[in-house]
Amino acid sequence: MTVLPLGILLPEDLLANEFVAVLAAFVAINTIVYVTLAVSKVLPKLYLSDLVDGRNRRGETRSIHPDDAP
């Protein structure tokens, strides 16, 4: 019975190389950025004006018809 390798096996000294470590860090940071962008696209938009009402509303109406609701 023969054992077939699953995937590409790289030598251990190649994986300990500084270039591979820098490449792995780049891929990790890139993955985090893309996951953050994907999650932000899935979530609904949040507008600051929905949370903070910037308009100054009068406490009482100044209409010539004071009984009408504003």
- Helix locations, 1-70, DSSP H: 12-15, 18-42, 48-51
Cα(23)–Cα(31) distance, integer angstroms: 12
- Please determine, for residue 70, whether its predicted confidence score (pLDDT) is greater than 70: no
Q: Phi first, then psi: what are they for 12, rounded to 5°? A: -65, -35
> What is the reported pLDDT for 20?
92
Do 53 and 46 touch, CB atoms closer than 8 A? Answer: no
- Please determine, for residue 68, whether its predicted confidence score (pLDDT) is greater than 70: no
- Residues of the chain above pLDDT 90, percent: 39
Tell me the mean pLDDT in the region 28-35.
98
